Structure 1
Amino acid sequence: MKFLKLLICLLLAVQGLAQPHGKDSNFVSRHRPGFFWYNTGWRPAKVGKLRKYDRLILDVTYNQLMMSGSVKQHTARSFGCNVNTMWDIPITNGNTVSLGIGLAYKFQKTGPKGLFFRDTSARYTHFYADSGYTDYRKNTFGNHMLAIPVEFRFRTPRWQHFKVHVGASVGYRLQTFQKLWEENKHRPIKDKDLPDVNGLVYGVHLRVGIRNLALFADYTLAPQFKSSNSSKINSLAFGLSLSIF
């Protein structure tokens, strides 16, 4: 809750810096929004061209493993990021409703208080909270993923607009890893060969914010492991989104 309150305060504090004031809210801008407000590419923007938004989005996330029973985590080791390159396709004349589609890279890392182990057959993976293996001082668990997000975008017509993005994504899990730092050793042991990892990734997400900044939530519906014999794990990510342009 403290982290969520901090994000809300940050959003309210800096949203006023997202763009210049004093513009007619119905004026069709010749410039592109965001940090690259005056960047129009190789050629000047056409007069009357609709503004487009949220084409490069960075998400900073706190990640939580979801399974039956609570999973305690080290907060400082449970942060990740997403990089989204998107097309903004207007549906209405004023671009108050649009379709976003693109390509996203997702890095989700967590610091669970427990370890993942192979079973005796080396075919399935199980999570043991607070396991008896105590010869390590810290551990992390994470995923690298590529996904295709598709989202419906709703905006108010004003220059400094309020926005809601409702979307879903499907993609591929590039790598799943577990890192262990043993006592008195500086280099971690990295395990990238946990069995039964589900390569297919799909989920739903939501952004709610003002202009360049938004609160973000993403729930991965696809289980981390394929078999019912492995631990049943999904993931939840929430944080702050920044639209570069």
Structure 2
Amino acid sequence: MKFLKLLTVFLLISFQGLAQPQGKDSTLVSRHRPGIFWYYTGWRPARPGKLRKYDRLIIDVTYNQLMNSGSIRSNPWRSFGCNINTMWDIPITNGNTVSFGIGLAYKYQKTGPKGLFFADSTNSFTSYYPDSSYTDYRKNTFGNHILALPIEFRFRSPKWQHVKVHIGGSIGYRLQTFQKVWPEHQHAIKDKSLPDRNPLVYGVHMRVGIRNWALFADYTLAPQFKSSKSEQISALAFGVSLSIF
């Protein structure tokens, strides 16, 4: 709930910057600051002619889906997650219409598959059983905590209210894989012991948007589990990105 309240505050403040100041030509450089810290330059004013840098703190709010060729069913509405990206924006062109982004990201992936994951009797691989096999629980979630290094090429139009496209990928480490189950009339049980969690994570992503808003998509190419006997799954996420500054 705290995260949702903070996100609501960010959205309300950012919407204040959607309108161009009255009477100003949209082709001129504006002193109006859209979003939080959009043109933040530190304790001192920016030097005249200094290139504007964008998309240095990005929050992605995502809906997540497990992808496989087997029996995993569609996820319910609660399959939401978020990414927090701190990035360096490195201009390549004079007007910063093309730049290179690199940074550090935390990813929280949460899904709600209609079934449960179990380790085999030798505790060496992970199998998936659909709801038809186990019905004595109210709901369940499955997810990951990930630390990653995102790298992307950024293309944007020259105007203040610019259109942007980010194309990139990331590589990182899966800090934790968890499964949480709510049995009938009991407290939730969290399991972090699935045996063959794949610690290596890599994937591709893309953002397309206007100024500090964008649509976001991310596909994890690395499989969730290492063993060839395990359920072969990966994650697809799509949602909305907000650039704080």
* TM-score computed with the length of structure 2 as normaliser: 0.88
CA contact (8 A) 1:31 1:39 kept: no
Q: Deviations over 1:38-86 (max 9, x none)?
A: 5321221111100110000000000000011363234222000000000
Question: Is the 1:30–1:47 Cα contact (8 Å) retained in structure 2?
Answer: no
Partner AA of 1:134 in structure 2: T
Find the counterpart in structure 2 of residue 143 from structure 1: 144
Question: How far, CA to CA, are the matches of 1:152 and 1:26 in structure 2?
Answer: 26
Q: 1-side partners of 2:213 and 2:140: how far apart?
A: 32
Deviation at 1:26, TM superposition (A): 5.8
Residue 76 of structure 2 corresponds to 75
Map of 1:219-234 to 2, 5 A cutoff?
219-234=219-234
User: The residue matched to 2:238 in structure 1 has which SS?
Assistant: strand
State the identity as a percent.
72
- 1:159 Cα deviation from its structure 2 partner: 1.0
Name the amino acid aligned to 1:153. R
Matching residue's letter, 2:210 = I
Deviation at residue 25 of structure 1 after TM alignment: 3.2
Contact 1:26–1:157 (Cα < 8 Å) also in 2:
no
2:128 corresponds to: 127
Deviation at 1:19, TM superposition (A): 5.8
**Counterpart amino acid of residue 147 in structure 1:** A
Partner of 1:179: 180
| 1:40-189 paired onto structure 2 within 5 Å | 40-69=41-70, 71-185=72-186, 187-189=187-189
**Structure 1 CA distance for aligned equivalents of residues 152 and 228 of structure 2:** 31
Kindly state the Cα deviation for residue 33 of structure 1 after the two structures are TM-superposed: 5.7
- Answer whether contact 1:32 1:40 (CA < 8 A) is retained: no
Instruction: Give the match for residue 201 of structure 1.
Output: 201
Q: Any idea what SS the aligned residue of 1:190 has?
A: strand
Task: Tell me the equivalent position of 1:210.
Answer: 210
What do the CA deviations read for 1:142-199 (whole angstroms, capped 9, x no partner)? 00000000000000111101000000100000000000101011x2100001010000
Unpaired segments ≥5 residues, structure 2: 1-13
RMSD: 2.1
| Pair 70,206 (structure 1): closer, same or farther in 2 beyond 3 Å | farther
Contact 2:39 2:52 in 1 (8 A): no
